[in-house]
């Protein structure tokens, strides 16, 4: 009898303790915060396709930063008054640092809307970089239908440029597609005699017609661009 009791006692001592009895309660981990998803504001800026004799150039219009100049350009587009306007000037004679092409109404002056107020770049926060769409003018406040497409940076066109006239040229958009078409216009044949003053040797011959100008959807993979000044 004693032998049986001793054997039971020995077995009790060797019985393993259930694992759950030796484990500590699980640690309470802090909640994992939900990932912060940035809110991306939809791009509502207008886009316009300029279909020319040499191909199509697509421009993005900065209607929030330069509302007066943008509205003027879009007014010509929406009224279809830009159909038939011409690219008529290339500044190849100014060298690689001052490259632009100029377009506008070269026919019936009655197609021009009234002149618009000038929007200097120091007010809009835009800049005359390569690809910029800027308004042509003689004096601030007399711009109507003519515009530039820049094929090089021309910072001297900005209103705060050192040595400038303090007004500069109003930027209101930029090229986002068809840059090669703008280059083809820039390199098109030039008349050796047409034009007056500084424009002699800069007049395209033949001129390049804007066959149509229409609003379009934003192109796929549209570039960020350069016209907005960085802080």
- Per-residue pLDDT tens, the chain, 231 aa: give them: 444 444 444 444 555 545 554 455 556 667 777 777 766 578 899 999 999 999 999 999 999 999 999 999 999 999 999 999 999 999 999 999 999 999 999 988 999 999 999 999 999 999 999 999 999 999 999 999 999 999 999 999 999 999 889 999 999 999 999 999 999 999 999 999 998 888 999 999 999 999 999 999 999 999 999 999 876
**Residue 199 phi/psi, 5° resolution?**
-90, -5
Record the tokens describing residue 187, joined without a space: 């390199």
Question: Which pLDDT score is estimated for 43?
Answer: 87
- CA gap 17, 23 in Å, rounded: 11
Question: Which pLDDT score is estimated for 61?
Answer: 98
Letter string b/e over residues 170-185, b meaning 16 or more CB atoms within 10 A of that residue's CB: bbbbbbbbbbebbebb
Question: Which pLDDT score is estimated for 16?
Answer: 53
Q: Which residues contact 228 (CB under 8 A, 6 or more apart)?
A: 62, 65, 125, 126, 127
Question: Which pLDDT score is estimated for 39?
Answer: 62
Walk me through the domains of the chain, giving residue ranges and CATH numbers.
47-216 (2.40.100.10)
Question: Which pLDDT score is estimated for 87?
Answer: 98
Question: Which pLDDT score is estimated for 13?
Answer: 53
């Amino acid at each position: 009898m004693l032998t049986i009791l001793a054997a039971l006692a020995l077995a009790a001592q060797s019985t393993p303790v259930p694992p759950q009895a030796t484990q500590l309660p699980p640690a309470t981990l802090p909640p994992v915060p939900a990932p912060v998803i940035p809110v991306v504001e939809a791009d509502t800026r207008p886009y316009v396709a300029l279909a020319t004799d040499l191909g199509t150039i697509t421009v993005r219009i900065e209607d929030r930063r330069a509302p007066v100049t943008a509205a003027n350009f879009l007014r010509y587009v929406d009224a279809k008054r830009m159909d038939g306007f011409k690219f008529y000037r290339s500044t190849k004679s100014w060298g690689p640092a001052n490259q632009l092409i100029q377009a506008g109404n070269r026919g019936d002056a009655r197609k021009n809307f009234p002149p618009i107020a000038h929007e200097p770049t120091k007010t809009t926060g835009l800049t005359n970089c390569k690809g910029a769409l800027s308004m042509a003018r003689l004096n601030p406040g007399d711009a109507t239908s003519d515009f530039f497409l820049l094929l090089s940076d021309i910072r001297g066109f900005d209103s705060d440029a050192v040595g400038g006239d303090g007004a500069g040229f109003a930027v209101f958009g930029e090229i986002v597609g068809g840059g090669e078409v703008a280059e083809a216009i820039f390199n098109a044949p030039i008349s050796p005699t047409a034009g007056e003053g500084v424009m002699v040797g800069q007049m395209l011959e033949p001129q390049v017609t804007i066959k149509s100008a229409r609003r379009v959807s934003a192109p796929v993979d549209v570039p960020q661009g350069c016209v907005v000044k960085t802080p």
